[in-house]
Amino acid sequence: MFGGAITALVTPFRNGAVDEDALRSLVNWQIEKGIDGLLACGCTGEAATLTTAEQLLVIEKVMEAAGGRVPVIAGTGTNATASSIDLSKEADSMGVDGVLLITPYYNKPTPKGQIEHYTKVADAVDCPVILYNVPGRTGTNILPETIAVLSKHPRIVAIKDAAGSAERVTAISNLCDITILSGDDALVMAQVALGGSGVISVVSNIAPSEMSDLVSLTAAGKLDPARALQARLYPVIKAMFLETNPIPVKKALSLMGMISDELRLPLVSMNEELVPELSKVLEKAEILR
């Protein structure tokens, strides 16, 4: 159901509010460049600093701009099961193609708590559910054995795995047949070669066609051109994490003239001393001309 390159969209701001015009333009550009899907209100979309009303607005505007041309996934996970259910139900009622649920952060639930949390949310909606494992942000990991249990739920169909390990694709695949989406741009080629179905990507905000090509070439077994593309993208991938995501990618999009370089506190604009390095990388990759 989900695969290829899916962009974890930034949320453009202007003067403190969601910039609806920039968001619409970004969605249209992504689709024109061949992206396979869009995620609204993920970590890259600064969901943690959006109000509930703003989250629903962003989801609505992304869906409107996409117009059914590609699947739209909504990030609806919080660190509380009750609010995750409420937000997921709202997004489901809007007609999203799926919801992405981050492991509850700060609470650090046990495997049993993870199973109960995800099961209750999945029970409350009718749309597909994607698990989101990102230990670097949440402080806890979803074990392959836990994923296997959750995969038995009819609506839990995929996992975005950002644990920084290609090995986990095999570990998970050996236990269940859930769809595995990479959450690490640097590992996309390796994870897809091992059986992953695609990526939910930060880098595709600025290089949608390239990331889509990387996934499709790898999936087709065309490894030589895939390796060449991976080598070209690798410095860009590294540059997107010169500071906390989405600081560098928002700076990159602003340099490309696509959005304002505005973030929500406690995130601030990229250290100006790093901007020349970022610009050089983008120019060499022919992303910034």
Task: For Cα atoms 109, 132, 216, give the angle at the middle one, nearest 5 degrees.
Answer: 160
How many structural domains does the chain have? Answer: 1
Percent of the chain at pLDDT > 90 equals: 99
Domain assignment present for 85: yes
Distance from C-alpha of 113 to C-alpha of 107, rounded to nearest angstrom: 10
Q: Is residue 76 part of a domain?
A: yes
The DSSP annotation for 148-180 comes to HHHTTSTTEEEEEE-SS-SHHHHHHHTT---EE
What length does the chain have?
289
Residue 219 has pLDDT above 90, yes or no: yes
Does residue 264 lie within any of the structural domains?
A: no
CATH number at residue 88: 3.20.20.70
Q: pLDDT exceeding 70 applies to what percent of the chain?
A: 100
What values do phi and psi take at 129, rounded to 5? -115, 135
Distance from first CA to last CA of the chain, Å, rounded? 36
Question: Looking at residue 41, what DSSP letter applies?
Answer: S
pLDDT of 261 reads 97
Give the residue from 272, 239, 279 showing the smallest Cα distance to 287: 279
Residue 160 bears catalytic tag = yes
Q: What is the pLDDT of residue 289?
A: 76
Per annotation, catalytic residue among 61, 160, 250, 251: 160
Count Cβ atoms below 10 Å from residue 230 Cβ, excluding itself: 20
227 part of a folded domain:
no
Asked if the structure places residue 265 within a domain, the reply is no
Cβ neighbours for 93, distance < 8 A, ≥ 6 positions apart: none
Structural domain for 95, as ranges: 4-220
CA distance linking residue 170 with residue 256, whole number of Å: 38
**Mean per-residue pLDDT for 107-134?**
97
Asked if residue 177 is part of any domain, the answer here is yes
User: Is residue 280 flagged as an active site residue?
Assistant: no
* Assigned domain for 57 exists: yes
Confidence of residue 109 (pLDDT cuts 50, 70, 90): very high
Catalytic residue among 61, 108, 118, 132: 132
pLDDT(10) > 80: yes
So what's the pLDDT on residue 91?
Answer: 98
pLDDT value at residue 135: 92
| Predicted local distance difference test score (pLDDT) of residue 1 | 76
Q: What is the average per-residue pLDDT within 148-163? A: 97
pLDDT at 7 over 90: yes
Q: pLDDT at residue 280 above 80?
A: yes
Q: How far apart are CA 43 and CA 76, in angstroms?
A: 10
Q: How confident is the model at residue 166 (pLDDT cuts 50, 70, 90)?
A: very high
Between the alpha carbon of residue 252 and those of residues 210, 228, 233, 271, 282, the distances in Å are 16, 23, 14, 13, 8
| Any domain includes 262 | no
Burial (Cβ within 10 Å: 0-12, 13-18, ≥19) of residue 125: buried
- Classified as helix, coil or strand, 131 is strand
DSSP collapsed to 3 states, 219-286: HCCCHHHHHHHHHHHHHHHHHCCCCCCCHHHHHHHHHCCCCCCCCCCCCCCCCHHHHHHHHHHHHHCC
Tokens 């996409």 — which residue?
A: 66
